[in-house]
């Protein structure tokens, strides 16, 4: 049992080290933080989406902006697309692939920013949300894995983790990036 813990810690450290040593990582996280700040300064909002654990990360991201991150400050405009009534309505009446694109079309505007989480980069509902955002004139940040994928191709900024194993290690790096992006955005907005 202890071997499982040690192996998982070692794997996490390996993925983390690879993420931190990638020259694109710091630039991408900084650029995403700048996009968040620019969005807020322009009167826009941050819209986040994902599936499963990535939806939890997307929701965590939005609540860190609307609530409190490290210090007291004014709430920053953000919304996670996690309304179960909307999700089940659209999935039932259209398809699961449309659950986020319909929401982006309903509440998104050209001054807004979409941050889509997909560890594969090919989740159809996240890809369609990014397509809907681009059609409106929104910027897109893709939280995904390294390599060619549909979300990366649609994104203005890509935060990519080099890992081909299970998605949990990718999500660990995504949440690290989320916290740093907020730190960057706060330094530029407040």
Q: For the chain, give every domain's residue range.
A: 2-189
Tens of pLDDT along the chain (190 residues) come to 799 999 999 999 999 999 999 999 999 999 999 999 999 999 999 999 999 999 999 999 999 999 999 999 999 999 999 999 999 999 999 999 999 999 999 999 999 999 999 999 999 999 999 999 999 999 999 999 999 999 999 999 999 999 988 999 999 999 999 999 999 999 999 8
Q: How far is CA 91 from CA 8, 95, 117, 125, 162, in A?
A: 36, 4, 19, 10, 32
Topology, domain 2-189: Rossmann fold (3.40.50)
- Predicted local distance difference test score (pLDDT) of residue 165: 86
Helix axis angle, 167-189 relative to 53-66, nearest 10°?
A: 10
- Predicted local distance difference test score (pLDDT) of residue 35: 98
Q: How far is CA 165 from the centre of its chain?
A: 19
State pTM to two decimals: 0.96
Positive or negative, the Cα torsion across 116, 120, 121, 127?
negative
Query: Across the strands, what pairs with 158?
Result: 142
- Predicted local distance difference test score (pLDDT) of residue 72: 93
- Predicted local distance difference test score (pLDDT) of residue 181: 98
């Amino acid at each position: 049992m202890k071997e499982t813990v040690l192996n998982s810690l070692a794997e996490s450290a390996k993925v983390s080290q690879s993420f931190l040593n990638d020259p694109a990582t710091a630039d991408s996280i900084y650029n995403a933080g700048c996009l968040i700040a620019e969005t807020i300064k322009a009167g826009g909002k941050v819209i986040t989406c994902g599936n499963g654990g990535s939806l939890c990360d997307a929701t965590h991201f939005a609540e860190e902006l609307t609530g409190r991150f490290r210090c007291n400050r004014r709430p920053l405009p953000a919304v996670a697309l996690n309304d179960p009534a909307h999700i089940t309505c659209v999935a039932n009446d259209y398809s699961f692939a449309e659950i986020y694109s319909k929401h982006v079309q309903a509440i998104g505007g050209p001054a807004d920013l979409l941050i889509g989480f997909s560890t594969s980069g090919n989740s159809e509902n996240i890809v369609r949300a990014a397509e809907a955002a681009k059609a409106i004139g929104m910027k897109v940040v893709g939280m995904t894995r390294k390599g060619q994928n549909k979300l990366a191709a649609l994104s203005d900024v890509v935060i990519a983790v080099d890992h081909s194993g299970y998605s949990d290690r990718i999500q660990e790096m995504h949440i690290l990036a989320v916290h740093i992006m907020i730190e960057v955005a706060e330094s530029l907005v407040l």
